[in-house]
Structure 1
Amino acid sequence: MDIDIARLVRTRAEHPEAVAEAAARRTRRPLLGPTGRLMIVAADHPARGALGVGDRGLAMANRADLLGRLCLALGRPGVDGVLATADILDDLLLLGALDGKVVMGSMNRGGLQGASFELDDRFTGHRPEDLRRHRFDAGKLLLRIDYDDPGSLTTLESTARTIDAMAAHRLPVFVEPFISRRDPGGRLRNDLSAEAVTRSIAIASGLGGSSAYTWLKLPVTENPDDMARVMETSTLPAVLLGGEVGADQDGAYEKWRGALRLPTVRGLVVGRSLLYPADGDVTAAVDTAVGLL
C-alpha cells in the first residue's frame, strides 16, 4: 500500500488537532470479538531503537514502508488491531486505518536496545491518561528482570504503579515479562527456559493492587512441550508474542498452534515476523497467523 507521506506531514504541520479529531470520531469495538480471540499486529519496536529485522539492521526505519505494511495487515480479515507508540498510532489515525480496530498503546520505551540503562525501563510512551483521552482500548508494557541489575527494581515498581493506574481507568494492560541476563558481550538476552518463563509469570501476575485488568504477553518456551505446565502458573488471560524473525517461520507457526490450545491463551500479538516475513509476503503471513486462531 502506498502512503502519501507529504500529505501526512502537511496535516501534522498545519493542523495538528487532526490527530485528536480522528481519535474522537474513531469507531470503537470491544477488546474481544465474538470468537473470544485476539489477533494484534505489533509495531512498537522503533521507539526503543530496535529497527532491525533479521539481517536488515534498519528495516523498520522507513516509515512509509512500515505504515504501508501495517495498513495492509490491518485490512486483512481476522486482524483485530495494532500495538504501537504514539507517533505510529497518530499516523494510522490520520490514515483512517483504526476504525473498528483494537488500539493498544505502548507504554515504556525508555530501555533503549543496547544501552547501559536498558533494564531501567522508564515509562516514556503512553500514560494511562493518554490512552483514556484518546479512547484507546488497552496498554502494553515490557518487564525484563535481571537479578544482577538494580535497574530492574525501578522497572518493577513503576510497572506496579502503572497497573494500578490502568485498573483505576478500567483499561486492560498487557504485561510482557522476561527473566533476562547479559551475555559475556554485554548484550541482554531473555531466558526462555520453562523455569524462567514460569518465574516471570508468577512475578508479573502479583504486581499492583488489582489484577482485574491485567493480561500477560508471553513467549513460547524453548521446548514447546513445556508450555502447558508453564501456563498453569496464573489464571490471567494471556496472548503469545512473536519474537524475532527466523528462517523457520513454519516452525514458529506450529509452536503458536500448540500453545493456542491452552485455556489461558487467548490470542497472538505478533510484529516483525508478520510485517517483514522472510519471503516478503505480508498478506500470506498475516492470513496464516489468523488461521491459527
Structure 2
Amino acid sequence: MILSENIISVVHFMAFPGRQNTDSMLRGEPDERYLMNSLKIIADDPYFKGIEVTRIKDPALRKKAIDFLSKTGMTIFFGAQPVQLLNEEKYDPADISSINELERKNAVDRLKRALEEAYQFGAVSFAFISGRDQGPDVRETAKLALIRSIVELAEYSRSLAKEFKREPIRLVLEMFDRINDPRGRFANQLIGPTFEAIEVARRIRDEYEIPEFGLLYDLSHMYLLRNYYIRKKKVDIKIGEDENVQEIKNVVVEEEIEEPEAPVVLQYLMPYLVHVHIGNCVLDPNDPRYGDSHASFAYPGGAMKVRDVANFVKALHEMGYKGPIGFEIRPYDREGSVPVLQHAKAFFDDARTWQDVIYGIGGFKFATREYFPEWAFYRLTDIRINHPEIAIEELKNRKKRKKLTDDGYLVLLAADHPARRVTSVVDDPIAMGDRLEYLGRVVRVLASGFVDGVMATPDIIEELAIINHLFKEAGKKGFLDGKLVIGSMNRSGLSGTYYEMEDDLTSYTPEDIKKMNLDGGKLLFRLDTGRYSRFSIRTMRYCAEAMRRMNDYGLPVFLEPLPVTREREDQPYRV
C-alpha cells in the first residue's frame, strides 16, 4: 500500500477533545483517567506510529503522560496551535505576527513555554500558527514580524536542545485559511496561501539558515485557502450613444481571479513540506458545522469525499513525500472518538487504494522500467507464446460498462499509431517502436481514473489483456474492468506510402469486435481532395460498409474524419 512507510499519527487533542466531547484536552486540563485511557487506545492501535499532543497544565499529570508515551515507542509531535487559538491570556490575536512589538514578544514567550513542554515530551517537532491576519495594509510588515518571531523561537529551541542533549526540534508552521468570519468559524491566519507560505519558508531556511524549519499542510484547509492572481484579457468596448458610438477593439483589461487551492500546490511546497494533516471541513454556510470544523469523514455535510482524499494522497505519493501524516478529526455531539478514528482509517485506506493512486508514478518524471519492469515484459512474452488463450479469456470475462458514458464525455487513449507506421515522437523517429516503453506508458495512462478507455489494434489490446491478468495475479486491481476497449479497424494506410489514403480493414473486423467482447470500433477516414482522392473515396466505402455491419451487431463505432493536405509528395500529410 502506498505511503506505508510514512508515520501515521493522530492529533490526540482533536480525536479525544475531552469527556462528552468538551474541549478540556484542548485547554490542557484533561481528566486523568480520560487522558490516560485515550493515550492507551492510540498506543494499542498498530495502525498509528505517532501521536500529536499539546500542553498539559498539571505538571504531575504531564509527567505521567510523558512516562507512558516513552514506553510505547511512538513518535511524538507537539502542537501549540490550541494554546494560540484559545488565547487564554487575551494577547493580540495577531500573535507572533503582531506589529505591536510588546504583543509579539508576549506571544513568542508563550510559545517558548510550550516549546519547553515539547522537549520534555521528547517530541520531534513543534507545530504552531502565524497569528490572525491584520489586513492587506500591514500584511507585509506582519510577515516580517512573523519571521523575526520564528528566528527567536529557533534560537531558544537550540539552547533547549543543548540542555536536553539532543538535536533541535523541528519547528513547523501550519498553514491556515485567511477567511475573516465574524462568528469565528475560520482561523483567518496570516499564513495563509501556499505561495506566501513558501516565501516565508524560503527566507527562514535560506536567509536565516534555520534548516529545522518547515511547513504543515492540512487537507481540510485546502478548499478554504485562496490564491489570487491577475488575468489579462482583450475585449471590445463601445463608447458613446446612438450615432456617436465608437467601438474600440482589443482593449486589455485586468481582472482579479480567486481560486481555492488544489493538490497540485503540494509540488510547490515540496522543499519545505515536513508534515501533513488529513482532515475534513464543511462548506455549506447553513450547516451547523460550517467552517474548519474537522468533522468526521462520515459526516454527510463534509466537503472531503474519497476522491478528494485520493487526489491528495496521489500528489503526496508522486512527489515522494516521506514525512508524517496526521489524522485531524474530532467527534461531535454523541459521536465516539474510536468510531470516528476507525472510519477515518477506512476512509484513508480506501483513498490510497484507488486504481489511479496505486499505479501512480513515484516522481515527476515517468520511468517506464520502474513501473513496467523488464521481468514483467518477459512474462508477457512467455504467456503470449505458451498461453495465448489468456488474452482472449481476459477480454471475454472483463467487467464492462453498462453504457459508454454517464455525462456525455469520453477521454480515450489512442494507441493504434504504430500499426500505421507512425512511430516518431519529437525527434526520435522510432520512439513508439520500443514495445516495452510503449506498453508501459499505455498501461500507466489507463490506470488513471480520468481516462475512460483505449483505442488500439489487436496486438496491443491482447497484450494489455495479458498485463491485466498479471496485475490480478499479483493481487492488484486490474485496469481494464470498467474501461472502454475500442478496436481499431482500418490500418492499411501506412504513413509515407503511395497508397496511404486507401485505408482498408486490415485490423479488427466487426465480427472480431463482437467475438472478443470489445466495446466498439474505431474507423479513420482521411480525405485528400487532390491527386489521390480516388484512394480516399475507396476508404469512404470501406468505412460505410464496416459501419453498417457494426450497426447490425448493435455495436457503437467511432469515425475519425480528417481533411488532409500536403504540399509535396515527399512530405507527410498534414491535417
Distance 1:51 1:111, change over 3 A: same
2:456 corresponds in structure 1 to: 84
1:2 lines up with 2:384 in the alignment: no
Any conservation in 2 of the 1:31–1:137 contact (CA below 8 Å)? no
SS of alignment partner, residue 182 of structure 1: coil
1:137 corresponds in structure 2 to: 519
SS of alignment partner, residue 560 of structure 2: strand
2:563 corresponds in structure 1 to: 179
Q: CA deviation at 1:179?
A: 2.0
2:390 corresponds in structure 1 to: 18
Any conservation in 2 of the 1:178–1:190 contact (CA below 8 Å)? no
1:49 corresponds in structure 2 to: 421
1:125 corresponds in structure 2 to: 507
1:167 corresponds in structure 2 to: 551
SS of alignment partner, residue 564 of structure 2: strand
- 1:198-277 equivalences under 5 Å are none
2:437 corresponds in structure 1 to: 65
Q: CA deviation at 1:176?
A: 0.9
Q: Give the letter for the 1:139 counterpart.
A: G
Q: CA deviation at 1:62?
A: 1.0
Q: CA deviation at 1:189?
A: 2.5
Q: CA deviation at 1:76?
A: 1.2
Distance 1:31 1:38, change over 3 A: farther
1:32 lines up with 2:404 in the alignment: yes
Write the deviation string for residues 18-51 of structure 1: whole angstroms up to 9, x where unpaired.
1111112111113433333211111100000100
Q: Give the letter for the 1:135 counterpart.
A: N
SS of alignment partner, residue 163 of structure 1: helix
Q: CA deviation at 1:185?
A: 4.0
Write the deviation string for residues 198-255 of structure 1: whole angstroms up to 9, x where unpaired.
xxxxxxxxxxxxxxxxxxxxxxxxxxxxxxxxxxxxxxxxxxxxxxxxxxxxxxxxxx
Question: Scaled by the length of structure 1, what TM-score is found?
Answer: 0.62
Distance 1:63 1:30 in 2: 32
Distance 1:94 1:161, change over 3 A: same
Q: Could you tell which deviates more after superposition, 132-141 or 179-188?
A: 179-188
SS of alignment partner, residue 391 of structure 2: helix
Q: Give the letter for the 2:432 counterpart.
A: M
Q: Give the letter for the 1:61 counterpart.
A: G
Q: CA deviation at 1:111?
A: 0.4
SS of alignment partner, residue 139 of structure 1: strand
Distance 1:166 1:32 in 2: 16
Alignment root-mean-square deviation, CA = 1.4
Higher Rg: 2
Any conservation in 2 of the 1:137–1:172 contact (CA below 8 Å)? yes
Q: How many residues were matched structurally?
A: 191
Q: Give the letter for the 1:70 counterpart.
A: V
Distance 1:81 1:127 in 2: 19
SS of alignment partner, residue 122 of structure 1: coil
Any conservation in 2 of the 1:43–1:82 contact (CA below 8 Å)? yes
Q: Equivalent pairs: percent with the same residue?
A: 39
Write the deviation string for residues 141-200 of structure 1: whole angstroms up to 9, x where unpaired.
110111221111211111110110111111111111122233224334244xxxxxxxxx
Any conservation in 2 of the 1:31–1:102 contact (CA below 8 Å)? no
Distance 2:453 2:402 in 1: 11
Q: CA deviation at 1:2?
A: 1.3
2:486 corresponds in structure 1 to: 104
Q: Give the letter for the 1:101 counterpart.
A: K
Gaps of 5+ in 2: 1-370, 469-478
1:236 corresponds in structure 2 to: none
Q: CA deviation at 1:74?
A: 1.1
Distance 2:564 2:406 in 1: 36
Any conservation in 2 of the 1:143–1:175 contact (CA below 8 Å)? yes
SS of alignment partner, residue 541 of structure 2: helix
Gaps of 5+ in 1: 192-293
2:498 corresponds in structure 1 to: 116
Distance 2:403 2:450 in 1: 13
Structure of higher RCO (CA pairs closer than 8 Å, 6+ residues apart): 1
SS of alignment partner, residue 189 of structure 1: coil
Distance 1:174 1:134 in 2: 17
SS of alignment partner, residue 518 of structure 2: coil
SS of alignment partner, residue 112 of structure 1: coil
1:94 corresponds in structure 2 to: 466
Distance 1:31 1:163 in 2: 19
Distance 1:167 1:30 in 2: 18
Distance 1:31 1:186, change over 3 A: farther
Distance 1:31 1:136 in 2: 13
Q: Give the letter for the 1:2 counterpart.
A: F
Distance 1:145 1:28, change over 3 A: same
1:281 corresponds in structure 2 to: none
2:10 corresponds in structure 1 to: none
1:189 lines up with 2:573 in the alignment: yes
Distance 2:405 2:461 in 1: 21
